[in-house]
């Protein structure tokens, strides 16, 4: 019985070696950087002068052309968080990020952000659609507000290479008697 099991494992190992076992791909943390976000438009039209904030974030390559991103803005009105994923198509990383912010006031905000980043520079554009709720108005007259922002992102921190070599492992089987 023992020899039969070893022969079977040998044949499976030989078959995988000849046919090629599927590569093992793991998520790869690519790094952290910062951007200057310039808000050029809101729901009322052009923002004059444009408003700037600094955003810090990290990018992880999930495999193939798929990425995840987490970001936050340190500010004096709570810390807005954006998190989501995207895909690299040609020279552009397209992202869809969920947004949330607990303002220092009684306002709470959620939304969705669309980002397009040039893979070489990580500079790009964004727009965000959000809705806020003033928790102090809960009850008969709740106060909801819709928001829109758009503008540019300019990378000011370290560069991140979006297309490094894949992390690939091989499958092997060692038989000991």
The three-state DSSP-derived secondary structure of 6-39 is HHHHHHHHHHHHHHCCCCECCCEEEEEEEEEEEE
Domain with 60, as residue range(s), is 28-155
3-state DSSP assignment of residue 136: helix
Give the tens place of pLDDT for each residue, 84-115.
999 999 999 999 999 999 999 999 999 999 99
Closest CA to 113 of 157, 161, 65, 147: 147
Q: Is residue 3 part of a domain?
A: no
For residue 41, what pLDDT is reported? 98
Q: Is residue 85 part of a domain?
A: yes
For the chain, the average pLDDT equals 85
Q: Is residue 61 part of a domain?
A: yes
The answer for 107, left when phi > 0, alpha when psi is -120 to 50, beta otherwise, is: beta
By the 8 A CB rule, do 80 and 63 touch? no
Q: Is residue 5 part of a domain?
A: no
Confidence of residue 29 (pLDDT cuts 50, 70, 90): very high
For residue 94, what pLDDT is reported? 98
Give the tens place of pLDDT for each residue, 114-127.
999 999 999 999 99
Confirm whether pTM is higher than 0.75.
yes
Residue 41: give its domain's CATH number.
2.40.160
Residue 171: C-alpha distances to residues 4, 8, 17, 62, 118 (Å)? 22, 17, 8, 20, 36
Confidence of residue 64 (pLDDT cuts 50, 70, 90): very high
The alpha helices in 30-79, defined as continuous H runs, are none
How many structural domains does the chain have?
Answer: 1
Q: Is residue 175 part of a domain?
A: no
Angle at CA of residue 107, ends 104 and 108, nearest 5°:
100
Q: Is residue 81 part of a domain?
A: yes
Phi and psi torsions of 125, nearest 5° = -130, 165
Expressed in angstroms, the distance from the first to the final Cα of the chain is 13
> Cα(92)–Cα(110) distance, rounded to whole angstroms?
26
Q: Is residue 165 part of a domain?
A: no
Phi and psi torsions of 132, nearest 5° = -115, 155
Cis peptide before 46 (omega within 30 of 0): no
Q: Is residue 48 part of a domain?
A: yes
């Amino acid at each position: 019985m023992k020899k039969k099991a070893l022969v079977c494992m040998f044949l499976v190992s030989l078959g995988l070696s000849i046919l090629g076992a599927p590569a093992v791909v793991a998520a790869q943390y690519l790094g952290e950087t910062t951007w200057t976000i310039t808000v050029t438009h809101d729901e009322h039209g052009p923002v004059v002068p444009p408003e700037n904030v600094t955003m810090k974030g990290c990018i992880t390559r999930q495999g193939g052309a798929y990425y995840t991103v987490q970001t936050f803005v340190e500010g004096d009105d709570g810390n807005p968080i954006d998190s989501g994923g995207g895909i690299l198509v040609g020279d552009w990383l397209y992202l869809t990020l969920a947004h949330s912010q607990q303002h220092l006031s009684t306002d709470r905000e959620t939304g969705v952000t669309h980002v397009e980043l040039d893979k070489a520079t990580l500079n790009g554009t964004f727009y965000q659609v959000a809705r806020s709720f003033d928790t102090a108005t809960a009850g008969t007259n709740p106060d909801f507000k819709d928001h829109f922002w758009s503008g540019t992102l300019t990378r000011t921190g370290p560069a991140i290479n979006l297309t490094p070599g894949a992390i690939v492992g091989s499958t092997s089987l060692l038989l000991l008697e």
